[in-house]
Amino acid sequence: MVVDIPYGDETVSMELTDRTEVIQSSDVDVHMDLEGELTRLLENLEFGRTITKELSKARSLAIAVDTSVGSPQVESLLRHLLRYIDTSTSCESVCILSPFSAGLDVTVDTRSVTVVLRSSLSDENVELVGETPSFSTPVSIDSDYLHSDVHIAIGSVRPHPIFGVTGGSRSALTCISSTQTVLRNEKLGLTHFTAPHSKDSAVRTDANESVRLAGLDYVFNTVVDHNGALDSLVVGAPEVASVIGYERSLESACVGMNHRADIALVSAGGCPYDSTLHSSLNALVVGYDATVHGGVVVLVAECADGLGPQGFVSGITNCESEAHVIKRGEVRYEHGLDAARLFWRVRSSRKIVLVSGLPQTIEEQIGCIDARSPQEGLEQAKALVTSNKQVVVIPDGIFTLPQAP
């Protein structure tokens, strides 16, 4: 049996025995037309007609766009929405906010709408609108966003071990709020973490309350399969769309497995998902969920850009345990410490074999065993296991959630 394993920009073929269990989320059965689905939702559904009516009265519109998960469907959705606004509403100006504005393609031939694209990374143009009720997070929001007539957020939904899923309110928050607000929200993933992929995570609760204070009106989220094909389009009020997006994403990603394995070989999904160890964390947690206590996770992630943000690097190199990371973050939180906590949770009960482009000295410094290919990584893992060596292979860990009995 031959299985293709994504690694960076390449795919590595592995020869596996028939006894090896391979689990992967299903492909989309029918490829959906994004523009047609958007039009159907806006013109045929009752809630869609409510959105259309509101858009028709607006003169200015702010759109927060999160492309951080690397889905090309998000840019396509934005362009289709801009065309719809241009031809079907009286809107005069659209301000697009994105932390990744430099790489965002919004080339659209609009006749009556002025489109302005700018980065949301600056804290110079923000206004404090209040504090969240549950966790007292100070919420500072971009002024151009606040003073627009209608507020929309566009993103992509996939499983995330700390947020539950990406997209929804959390994605919107990263595009429209100050650095302090984003970090205070993210810190909850360190101090109030319960379980991976939780629907009721503190981060999600706080993000929902934050965007409510910010006046976010509507969320447009794509749900894609592991090949990037559109599974569904979720449109609605922020909290409703977040719940539906969570359910659709997990419905697409969850795959049953016969039993937890001794060894899980998991790919982070290739570029752009495996650009750093930090961005590959979801796959590492998937390997953790798929294995027994004391098992081995073989993580296949190129890590071409290194380990990740400084907080994550500090947490996995300068701390000695999950508890140590929490203590460090409570004193002074840095971006990525929430993920460092999860890394230590995996490392404390699983051996980690890392197939990456990182120097061997760095892999050993963070407590991982070095391997230069998936096949070598699997052999290394088998040498560490003295039991029956039951193996599961998960080619697209970032889009797959194994469900063991």
Name residue, tokens 């806006």: 42
Determine the Cα–Cα distance for residues 92 and 135; give it in Å rounded to an integer: 38
Check pLDDT > 80 for residue 378.
yes
With cut-offs at 50, 70 and 90, classify the pLDDT of residue 395: very high
Question: Which is more confidently placed, 41 or 358?
Answer: 358
Q: How far is CA 285 from CA 125, 194, 271, 343, 394, in A?
A: 37, 14, 18, 8, 12
Segment 274-282 mean pLDDT? 96
Determine the Cα–Cα distance for residues 157 and 165; give it in Å rounded to an integer: 6
Torsion of the alpha carbons at 355, 358, 361 and 362, rounded to the nearest 10: -100
Determine the Cα–Cα distance for residues 40 and 46; give it in Å rounded to an integer: 11
With cut-offs at 50, 70 and 90, classify the pLDDT of residue 88: confident
Interstrand relation of 159-160 and 164-165 (parallel, antiparallel or unpaired):
antiparallel
pLDDT for the residue numbered 110: 65
Determine the Cα–Cα distance for residues 301 and 284; give it in Å rounded to an integer: 10
Residue 78 sits at the vertex; the CA angle it makes with 77 and 84, to the nearest 5 degrees, is 90
Determine the Cα–Cα distance for residues 392 and 371; give it in Å rounded to an integer: 18
SS3 236: strand
Determine the Cα–Cα distance for residues 246 and 24; give it in Å rounded to an integer: 19
Please report the domains of the chain, with CATH numbers, ordered by start residue.
2-23+257-403 (3.90.226.30), 34-252 (3.40.50.11440)
Check pLDDT > 80 for residue 113.
no
Determine the Cα–Cα distance for residues 181 and 41; give it in Å rounded to an integer: 32
With cut-offs at 50, 70 and 90, classify the pLDDT of residue 291: very high
pLDDT for the residue numbered 183: 96
Check pLDDT > 70 for residue 179.
yes
Interstrand relation of 218-224 and 150-157 (parallel, antiparallel or unpaired):
parallel
pLDDT for the residue numbered 325: 98
pLDDT in tens, 5-57: 999 999 999 988 878 999 988 887 777 889 999 988 888 777 777 888 888 88
Segment 94-105 mean pLDDT? 77
SS3 221: strand
Residues in the chain: 405
Number of Cβ within a 10 Å radius of residue 45: 14
Tally the C-alpha atoms within 13 A of residue 166's C-alpha that lie toward its C-beta: 24
Quote the strand ranges of 47-112, DSSP E.
60-65, 93-98
pLDDT in tens, 185-231: 999 999 999 889 988 899 999 999 999 999 999 999 998 888 888 88
Find residue 370's DSSP bridge partners: 354
Answer yes or no: are the C-beta atoms of 340 and 314 closer than 8 Å: yes
